[in-house]
Amino acid sequence: MANNSDYAFQKCINPECAATFDVAEILVKCPTCGDMLDVAYDWDKMDVPGSLKDFEKRWTRTNPLDFSGVWRFRDLLNFCPDDCKVTVGEGQTILQRNDALAKDLGIDAGCLHLEYEGLNPSGSFKDNGMTAAFSHARLVGATASACASTGNTSASMALYAHSTGMSCTVFIGSGRIAYGKLSQAMDYGAHTLQIAGDFDDCMRQVQAVCAQLGIYLVNSLNPFRLEGQKTIMFRILEQLGWQVPDWIIVPGGNLGNSSSFGKAFAELKQLGLIDRVPRLAIINAEGANTLTHLYNDRNLRWNDGRPDADLVQEFYDDLTARKYSPRTVASAIEISRPVNLTKCLRALDICDGVVISVPDEEIIDAKAQIGLRGLGCEPASAATIAGLKHLLADGVVDPSAKIACVLTGHPLKDPNLTVNYHKDNKGKFSNPPVEVPNDLNAIIKAMKQA
């Protein structure tokens, strides 16, 4: 299949290097300087709509690419021809205006919106990126894929792998294995290799195996995944009638979402499709707060593409020396060495961003509130609302600001936490079962007390 290399290419994010490479090459890092890569476009050669409203013409159900919440916006991530593009119906997500939760938080009615990504086919936002990565995999002719995740990434990879007729392998360590998290990967047909080692061993081995066997590595460095994730922002704009909100709030783990959101808004602004960018708030869990530490306490910045690499290395060396492992109930953001750190610094620069951390107790309380008021979410997603409470209290976010929080995953991704929270009365919003005799009057009394 022909690629779109007359206007799409891979480009080093380091402005002093800025080397470009063909979009059909499989690269993990810039071969020239070792920095990260972007997918970049020569917009002048592309047929980009003159207004975001033009995308409304795609609201049909007859073409699968138009039905996809990712590929409906394909003009803005057009790195491969349409016959390469894979879709399983991802991105049919909902931006829910939630006045009940807004009221709880002291936010004006009509101002709080929750972008619920749990409605994706594999149950998390990962499908937005994976549909793009597997389209790229087809462009380069890959027949096999692999990754070292045991969570949402492996589920999404396995779904897209079998949907494109590719094989896929999940590398897991021999330590504590959460089989529940692997249930989707096994269900969708991933081969699972349990390596006698830890996660770092898996990560190292999967990269070596992919390089040696020519397997397509679906890791978070993959710039094509971030292209797909841009569409989460396009859908928020779409559902707000193409109005730009004041704040985007997102959990911070590997920082792929924040990175792609910044890129999305920078491109839309450059294309004249929006007249301003929203501010970005990234919420870490306290038990995995690398970004908070480096950005707030050590003043690490994008610095026009030259962030202080020594500062980062020094911090990571210290983590190694202390044998530090991140620990939070929000397992999807339990990461202390975020691979997209540099791109995220750029996003914070583009969006005049802020970063804060929240403790686990506040995350699980916020999760319960999101369940009680909305569609629910996995624990990591609730960091958004936990963080928003602080940003409101500190006067960073105004109660009359238009806010969109990104809820990254389905509540059924981690039902045990939900059950324990309620059953064992663990938090402010716990809702345990009440035992009642099998007697009508006793039951009516219990109903009235509820």
With a CB cutoff of 8 Å and minimum separation 6, the contacts of 59 are 66
Instruction: Indicate the helix (H) or strand (E) that contains 115.
Output: strand 112-116
In the region spanning residues 323 to 342, those forming contacts with a copy of itself, defined by CB under 8 A, are none
Closer residue to a copy of itself, CB minimum distance, 258 or 418: 418
Chain residues 281-310 in contact with a copy of itself, contact rule CB under 8 A:
none
Which lies closer to a copy of itself via its Cβ, residue 78 or residue 184? 184
The answer to whether residues 312 and 300 touch, using CB atoms and an 8 Å cutoff, is: yes
Q: Please state at what angle helix 152-163 crosses helix 179-187, rounded to 10 degrees.
A: 10
CB of 406 to a copy of itself, least distance (A): 16
* 41: three-class secondary structure by DSSP: strand
Query: CB of 376: closest distance to a copy of itself in angstroms?
Result: 5
Nearer to a copy of itself among residue 33 and residue 209 (C-beta): 209
To the nearest whole angstrom, how small is the minimum distance from the Cβ of residue 61 to a copy of itself? Answer: 6
Q: Whose Cβ is closer to a copy of itself: residue 326's or residue 374's?
A: 374
Interaction of residue 141 with a copy of itself, rule CB under 8 A: no
Count the Cβ atoms, other than its own, within 10 Å of residue 65: 14
Cβ contacts of residue 244 below 8 Å, gap of 6+? 237, 274, 275, 276, 277, 278
Site for a copy of itself in 150-169 (CB under 8 A): 159, 162, 165, 167, 169
**Nearest distance from C-beta of residue 448 to a copy of itself, angstroms:** 8
- Provide the mask over 207-246, with x wherever binding to a copy of itself is found by CB under 8 A and - wherever it is not: -xx--xx-x----------------------xx-x-----
Residue 37: CB minimum distance to a copy of itself, A: 26
- CA 423 centroid distance within chain: 30
Among 196, 275, 276, 323, binds a copy of itself (CB under 8 A): 196
Q: Which of residues 91-110 bind a copy of itself (CB under 8 A)?
A: 92, 94, 96, 100
When asked if residue 311 is in the footprint of a copy of itself (CB under 8 A), the reply is no
User: In the complex, what is the shortest distance from the CB of residue 210 to a copy of itself, in angstroms, rounded to a whole number?
Assistant: 10
Q: Is 91 helix (H, G, I), strand (E, B) or coil?
A: coil
Closest by CA to 279, choosing from 403, 162, 166, is 403
Q: Write out the binding residues for a copy of itself, residues 9-68 only, by CB under 8 A.
A: 56, 59-62
**Contact assessment for residue 383 and residue 393, using Cβ atoms and an 8 Å cutoff:** no
In the complex, least distance from residue 433 CB atom to a copy of itself, rounded to whole angstroms? 4
What Å distances lie between residue 409 and 45, 50, 67, 250, CA to CA?
36, 33, 21, 12
State the first-to-last Cα distance of the chain, in angstroms, to the nearest integer: 63
d(CA 111, CA 122) in angstroms, rounded, equals 29
Question: Least separation, in Å, of the C-beta of 127 and a copy of itself?
Answer: 11
Strand order in the sheet with 20-22: 20-22, 8-12, 37-41
**Contact present, 99 and 109 (Cβ < 8 Å):** yes
CA angle 246–248–250, rounded 5-degree value: 160
Question: Of 36-44, 190-198, 271-279, 352-360, which segment contacts a copy of itself by CB under 8 A?
Answer: 190-198
Looking at the Cβ atoms of 46 and 195, the one nearer to a copy of itself is 195
Residue type at position 136: H
Q: Which of 86, 121, 157, 292 binds a copy of itself (CB under 8 A)?
A: 121
Q: x-or-dash pattern for a copy of itself, window 361-400, by CB under 8 A? A: -------x--xxx-xx------------------------
86-94, 278-286, 337-345, 388-396 -> range binding a copy of itself (CB under 8 A): 86-94
Nearer to a copy of itself, 40 or 383 (CB): 383
Instruction: Report if residue 179 touches a copy of itself, rule: CB under 8 A.
Output: yes
Binding mask 417-446 for a copy of itself (x = CB under 8 A): -xx--xx-------xxxxxxxx-x--xx-x
Among 11, 389, 402, 413, binds a copy of itself (CB under 8 A): 413
Q: What amino acid occupies position 413?
A: K
- CA 432 → CA 426, 428, 450, distances in Å? 10, 12, 11
Instruction: Please list the residues that pair with 115 across neighbouring strands.
Output: 95, 406
Distances (CA, A) of 259 to 281, 352, 386: 12, 13, 21
At 99, which amino acid appears? D
Q: In whole angstroms, how close is the CB of 212 to a copy of itself at the nearest point?
A: 7
Smallest CA-to-CA distance from 193 within 155, 127, 147 is with 147
Backbone angles phi, psi at 295, to 5 degrees: -80, -45
Nearer to a copy of itself, 60 or 299 (CB): 60
Q: Which of 20, 143, 192, 296 binds a copy of itself (CB under 8 A)?
A: 192
